[in-house]
Structure formats: structure tokens, C-alpha cells
Amino acid sequence: MQPFKLLITSIAFFSSTMLSAQTLQENLDAVIDQMLPYANVGIYIKDIQSNKVVYQRNANKLFNPASNMKLLSAAAALYELGPNYRYTTNLAKQGDDIYFNFNGSPSLTTEKLQNLVLQLPKLGINKINNVILDASHFKPPFYAPGTSYDDLGWYYAAPSTAIILNENAIAYDVSAKELNKIAEITSQAVDNPLTVINEVITVSKADEKEHCSFNIQTLKNNTLRLYGCIAQTKQPKKMFFAIPNPMLFAKQIIEQTLVKNGIELKGRVTPGRTPASAQILAKEESANLIVLLAHMLEESDNLYADSITKQLAVNLTGEGTYKQGAYSIKTSLSKHTHLNMKQIELADGVGTRYNLITPEQLVVLLTDLYHDEALGPLFLGALPKMGQSGTLKERMKKSPLMGKIAAKTGSMHDVSALSGYMVAPNGKEYVFSIISNGINTNIVKAKELEEKILLTVALENKVD
């Protein structure tokens, strides 16, 4: 009788497990069909310890991952550049000419550039001939393939040149209080290279929704034409506009600093190349790469991702371009991970429209990194934490999963993505990727779906 009882118990346990898995699959399928009935949704969730697939839907279909692509560029940078890599911006001299050699440091600020200029009088140099700005480290184009025309002029589409100052963006306050009047657009920035032509009209919220929009046209000499409309508001809106020509901005800062500190410039400030024989006088170093990656992943910073991808390209191919950056990411991850590149279309390290990947492949990458004893903890530590930091700071704050999810978000007009790691209340660890494309409703709906799916899995199907 004992073997028979054991058999019955085993069958009951197996049936219960099958029923639970089936119920989870059916419940989540129903939730997705209800919340995003017309969108394409791809999901892959795995128990990271047992390697068991908990839920999947369109896991091997290609999706646009938006900024989830930054997971790939971050991983490749860690593998190839190393967590302690630093960018350097050099001040050099040959004869009476001074050279500023820019290497794409995404965290360089006007203050740091001014400090480099101030090294000249400290070294007893008070008269100079020409100042040459060397931005040859990165090659054009300076906008990623697939960048939307609508994005040009906004901070998240700032040009990725070797010269990056204050993230190549300027903050403005836009006040739209009086209907049918020109909105007030002002900046508190001390060093502002932009000239703004303001043609923006204040309208009602209904008119803005149905009939017009806020538009930016980039013109020569760091001039922006702002036109269209903005909805009436009581309080000013903070907006960040891109600096189209960072070279002009750097020129302006250097000229002003020279004059202010009594350093005589006999010649002019002009673009050029630094001779190999030039003497390095001083340098400005960025923070370690892992610090830069934490900022990039937490804030989903496109310019950081562009710069890091291009630097990866310089290291692997000698040429800092988007195309070589994409090639370098693929080369690195093919070597260090189990990614199947046939399931990936990679155009850049940022996440434009030209990128495609399957949810399963994102989970493959995340799983490989999780098991990497050297880089895994650094990578996981750099990700936003649910309800606590970065792009996840305002999400799931009152949830049992607050602080229990480390993941990268992704958002575009009709795209939402969330991929990362989760620790359930019972201690189980999961790795997941959720991507929605073709969203024809408010994107908040997709974010709510992501959260409901993760809660349902974490609480073992107990969420209604």
C-alpha cells in the first residue's frame, strides 16, 4: 500500500503544479487581452535559480525594446572597457598654440572646462596664439540612425559629438498663463549658447490635444525656433532644449574664460587636430565607468549611452561612429554571453526605432550577467530600483515589491518595456522581460500591466 500512496501523492502534487502553471498562464493572458487588446505584447519570465520558465508570451518574437537596448550597451561597456574606465579631456600645448582634446566625456561641464582653461595662468601661460578645439574622437553622423525628426531639438536627442558640455542641453522655464498670447520662455542658465525665436501660442488643453503641438526647428549658430502651441497652465513648465552645435558652445566658454582671467589670445579659437607631439599640460577625468553607467541606466540618459557606445567602438575598431558602436556591442556580447544574434537587430546603444530584440534574448543577457561573479553585482547595482530610484522612483511605492525589483525601463510613443530582476516576498528570484509595441492608448496602461504581471508572479497568482 505504501508505494501506491506515494504514487497517488506524486500524481496529486504534479496535477496541482500543472494546474497552478496553467492558471497563471490563463490569468495573465486574460489580463493582457483586457488591458492591451490591440497591442503586441512579448513576455519571458524565468525562475533564475531553477531556470524554470514561469510565464511566456511571444517570447521569441522581435520587438522594439526602446531604452531596454541600454542593457546591451551597458553590458558590452563593462566587458570591454571595464568598470574603472575613465574619460579624459586633455589640455595640450605646441609652440604658442593651445589644444583642447575632447574625448566624448558625457559628464563634462562648463565649470570643468573653465577649470582646464585656468590651468594656463597657473603654469605661467598668459599669452597664447591660437586655441584649437579637437573633436575628432567621434565621427559624424551625430544623431543615431532612427532618431525621430520630432525629437530633434529636445534634450534627449542632443548631438553626440566628442564635445559634450552640460549634456549639450539647456533648461528653460515656459510660462503659458494667458490664452492666445505668446508663451514666456526664459532660462536661468549663466552660460547659455542658445538664441531662441519664440512663436509659441498659449491655447486650451482641448485645442492642444486636438489641433496643435509644441515644435522645435534647429537653425544655424545654435538658434532654435519654437513654434506651435502649449496648453494653458498656472505654473511654468521646465523644458530642456538640445544645443545643436556643441563646438560653438565650447568656443564661447573658452573665449569668455580667457577674457575674464586676462589671458591674451592673439589668434582665434578654431576646430582642428591635436598633434601627436603636443605636450599635455593638464587633464580632466570623468568618474569611473560604473558611476556613469549607473546614471545612464537610472535616468535612461541617451547622450551617455551614445557616448559610451561610441567609446566602445573606438576601443574595438578605432572609429567612434554609431555603426561601429553597434558592431562592437554585437562583437562583445557574442564573445561574452549566450545571446543569439539572429534574434537581434542592433543599430545603436540607445534604443531608437531601428532596434529589435526578443524578450527571451533580453532574459538570456540578464541571466548571464546575474551569474557573472565579477560584473554581475556591479550591473545589478547600477539598475533603477522599484519605488526608490531613477525612472522607477515613482512606481509601486506602496507595493510589497518596492525595492525588490531592479530593472530598466523603456518608453517611446507606442512602446513600453521593463526588463530586469525581481525578488518575491517568499524569497524566489526571477529574471524577466516585458515589452509592448503598438500601444494605441495611454502608455500608463502598459506600465500598469507590467506591474500587475510582476505582482501576480511574485504573489503566486493571488492578485485579482
pTM surpassing 0.95?
no
Q: pLDDT for 192-251, tens place per residue?
A: 999 999 999 999 999 998 999 999 999 999 999 999 999 999 999 999 999 999 999 999
- Can you give the pLDDT at residue 22? 62
* Beta-ladder partners of 195: 223
Residue with the three cell numbers 593638464: 282
- Can you give the pLDDT at residue 149? 86
| Segments in the chain below pLDDT 50 | 1-19
- Can you give the pLDDT at residue 19? 40
82 half-sphere exposure, CB direction, 13 A CA radius? 5
Compute the CA torsion angle 423, 378, 444, 203 (nearest 10 deg): 160
- Can you give the pLDDT at residue 7? 32
- Can you give the pLDDT at residue 21? 53
> In angstroms, rounded to a whole number, what is the distance separating the alpha carbons of residues 196 and 380?
41
Decide: residue 394, CB within 10 A, 0-12 exposed, 13-18 middle, 19+ buried.
exposed
- Can you give the pLDDT at residue 10? 39
**Domains of the chain with bracketed CATH:** 23-83+290-458 (3.40.710.10), 88-139+246-285 (3.50.80.20), 149-242 (no CATH)
Chain-centre distance of CA 50, in angstroms?
Answer: 31
- Can you give the pLDDT at residue 23? 86
- Can you give the pLDDT at residue 9? 37
- Can you give the pLDDT at residue 33? 96
Closest CA to 224 of 216, 214, 213: 216
- Can you give the pLDDT at residue 215? 97
